[in-house]
C-alpha cells in the first residue's frame, strides 16, 4: 500500500510517460503532510495529542482553562441580548477537552439550556474519539466536517491552536523574492528556490509593509484569509475567538527572526526538519495576528481585543474560578502549580495570544481584554 512519502514523490516524479510533475511548493507539501485524507497528520488515526502524543495544548494542562473560556463565551451571550439560541462552533478541537470542560462548567445554567456546541472536525478517527469523550453531552454536541456544513449560525466561532497548522508558503529573499519548492533527488527531499507561485506573496509583503533583507527566510499564510471568508459566510452575528501562538506583523518579520518560525513536533520533541516522518509529525508556523485583524476588518469583522493568554485568563476571572473549584482542597497547591503554566511569563500565558472579533452592529466590550488590549500594535 502506497504511503504518504511515496505519494508525494510520485507527485514530483510521476511515472514514465506522464508529462506533469516537477517540484511542488512547500505549501502543497505541508498540506499533504498534514491533511492528505487517511494519511496526513491531522487526517489519519495517528494524530497524537496530550501526554502520550506529540504536543500539549492549553486544555490538556488544566480543566480551568475551559471553564474560563466558557465564562467568557457566556458573557458574549449576554452582550448579544441573551438570544434563545446560541451556537458555539469549535474548529480543530483535538480530543475535545476544551468542549468537555466548557460544558462541565456551564452545565445547569440558563445559558447551557440555550446553547448548541458544534465541533468542525475533518478527521473521522478523531471525531470518534471526541464522541466517546463527550457522550454525556450527546444532546448538546453535534459534528460537521467543514464550515460549509454548518448552515447559518449565530454565536461564537472558537479555535485553539488551529491557525498555526494552516499550510504556509516558504519564501526567501535573494536578488528578488523567491519561493521554496520541494523536489526529490537521489533518495531525499531537497529544497529549491523558484519564482513565487502566486502574486499574492509579493502583495502580502506590500500590504503589511514588510521589507526582507537578502538571505531572509520566512513564512506567509494566505489560507488565514480563506478561513476568515468561510467563517464570515456562515456567521450571521457573533464573535470569533482565536487562541494561538503568534505575533503582530512587525514582530513576526523583525530583523532577528531571519529563519522564520516553522517548527515540527513529534513525541514532545522539537525539530526543524519537515521531511522526516512525513504524516507522523506536526508542522506549524506562528500566526500573523496583524493579518487576522486586517483581513477580518475587510470582511466587516470588528477587532474587540488582542492580548497574551495569561492576561486574558486573569481578566476573565480565572482567580475566582480557581477559588470556587479548589479552595480548601488538599490538592489546592498542586492544582495551582499546573494552572500557572497557562498564565505566567515564559509559559503558554506569554507565548499564546487571544483575539476576539465581532460581526454585528454593536461593539461589545469583553472582560478578557479589560486589563490589557494590545490590538493597537497590530
Spatial neighbors of 313 by CB under 8 A, at least 6 apart, are: 65, 68, 342, 343, 349, 368
Q: What span, in angstroms and rounded, lies between the C-alpha atoms of 70 and 136?
A: 17
- 95 alpha carbon, distance to own chain's centre: 14
Q: What span, in angstroms and rounded, lies between the C-alpha atoms of 230 and 167?
A: 16
Q: What span, in angstroms and rounded, lies between the C-alpha atoms of 207 and 187?
A: 40
In a domain, 29, yes or no: no
In a domain, 65, yes or no: yes
Residue of 317 and 2 predicted with greater confidence: 317
| CB of 215 closer than 8 Å to CB of 172 | yes
Tens digits of residue pLDDT in 274-323: 999 999 999 999 999 999 999 999 999 999 999 999 999 999 999 999 88
Tens digits of residue pLDDT in 22-73: 899 999 999 999 999 999 999 888 665 544 444 457 777 888 999 999 999 9
| CB of 24 closer than 8 Å to CB of 181 | yes
In a domain, 358, yes or no: yes
Q: What is the DSSP letter of 23?
A: -
| CB of 26 closer than 8 Å to CB of 169 | yes
Tens digits of residue pLDDT in 260-271: 999 998 875 788
What is the residue-averaged pLDDT of the chain? 92
Q: Is 225 helix (H, G, I), strand (E, B) or coil?
A: helix
How many Å is the maximal CA-CA distance in the chain?
A: 74
Instruction: Using alpha carbons, select from 276, 20, 289, 70 the residue that is nearest to residue 164.
Output: 289
- Distance set, CA 333 to CA 59, 161, 336, 340, 341 (Å): 19, 28, 5, 11, 13
Q: What span, in angstroms and rounded, lies between the C-alpha atoms of 57 and 190?
A: 31
Question: What's the confidence (pLDDT) of residue 53?
Answer: 45
Domain of residue 328 covers 58-165+231-251+288-366
Please count the structural domains in the chain. Answer: 1
Instruction: Using alpha carbons, select from 330, 366, 368 the residue that is nearest to residue 77.
Output: 366
Spatial neighbors of 304 by CB under 8 A, at least 6 apart, are: 239, 356, 357, 358, 363, 364, 365, 366, 369, 375
CATH of the domain at 128: 3.40.50.12710
Distance linking the first and last C-alpha atoms of the chain = 48
Residues in the chain: 378
In a domain, 177, yes or no: no
pTM: 0.94
Tens digits of residue pLDDT in 141-180: 999 999 888 999 999 999 999 999 999 999 999 999 999 9
Amino acid at each position: 500500500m502506497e504511503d504518504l512519502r511515496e505519494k508525494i514523490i510520485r507527485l514530483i516524479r510521476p511515472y514514465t510517460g506522464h508529462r506533469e510533475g516537477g517540484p511542488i511548493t512547500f505549501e502543497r507539501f505541508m498540506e499533504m503532510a498534514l491533511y492528505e485524507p487517511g494519511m496526513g497528520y491531522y487526517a489519519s488515526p495517528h494524530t497524537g495529542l496530550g501526554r502520550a502524543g506529540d504536543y500539549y495544548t492549553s486544555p490538556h494542562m488544566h480543566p480551568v482553562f475551559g471553564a474560563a473560556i466558557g465564562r467568557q463565551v457566556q458573557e458574549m451571550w449576554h452582550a448579544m441580548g441573551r438570544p434563545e439560541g446560541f451556537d458555539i462552533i469549535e474548529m480543530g478541537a483535538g480530543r475535545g477537552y476544551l468542549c468537555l470542560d466548557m460544558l462541565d462548567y456551564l452545565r445547569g445554567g440558563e445559558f447551557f439550556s440555550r446553547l448548541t456546541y458544534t465541533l468542525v472536525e475533518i478527521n473521522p478517527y478523531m471525531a470518534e474519539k471526541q464522541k466517546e469523550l463527550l457522550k454525556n453531552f450527546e444532546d448538546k454536541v453535534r459534528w460537521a466536517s467543514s464550515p460549509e456544513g454548518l448552515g447559518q449560525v449565530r454565536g461564537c466561532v472558537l479555535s485553539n491552536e488551529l491557525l498555526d497548522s494552516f499550510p504556509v508558503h516558504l519564501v526567501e529573499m535573494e536578488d528578488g523574492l523567491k519561493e521554496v519548492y520541494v523536489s526529490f533527488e537521489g533518495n531525499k527531499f531537497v529544497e529549491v528556490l523558484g519564482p513565487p507561485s502566486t502574486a499574492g506573496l509579493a502583495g502580502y509583503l506590500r500590504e503589511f509593509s514588510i521589507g526582507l533583507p537578502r538571505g531572509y527566510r520566512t513564512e506567509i499564510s494566505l489560507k488565514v484569509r480563506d478561513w476568515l471568508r468561510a467563517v464570515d459566510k456562515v456567521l450571521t452575528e457573533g464573535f470569533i475567538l482565536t487562541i494561538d501562538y503568534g505575533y503582530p506583523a512587525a514582530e513576526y518579520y523583525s530583523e532577528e527572526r531571519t529563519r522564520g518560525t516553522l517548527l515540527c513536533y513529534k513525541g514532545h520533541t522539537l525539530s526543524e526538519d519537515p521531511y522526516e516522518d512525513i504524516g507522523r509529525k506536526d508542522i506549524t508556523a506562528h500566526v500573523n495576528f496583524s493579518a487576522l485583524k486586517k483581513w477580518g476588518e475587510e470582511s466587516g469583522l470588528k477587532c474587540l481585543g488582542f492580548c497574551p493568554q495569561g492576561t486574558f485568563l486573569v481578566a476573565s476571572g480565572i482567580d475566582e474560578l480557581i477559588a470556587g473549584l479548589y479552595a480548601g482542597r488538599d490538592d489546592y497547591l498542586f492544582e495551582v502549580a499546573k494552572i500557572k503554566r497557562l498564565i505566567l511569563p515564559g509559559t503558554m500565558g506569554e507565548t499564546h495570544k487571544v483575539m476576539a472579533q465581532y460581526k454585528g452592529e454593536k461593539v461589545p466590550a469583553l472582560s478578557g481584554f479589560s486589563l490589557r488590549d494590545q490590538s493597537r500594535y497590530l
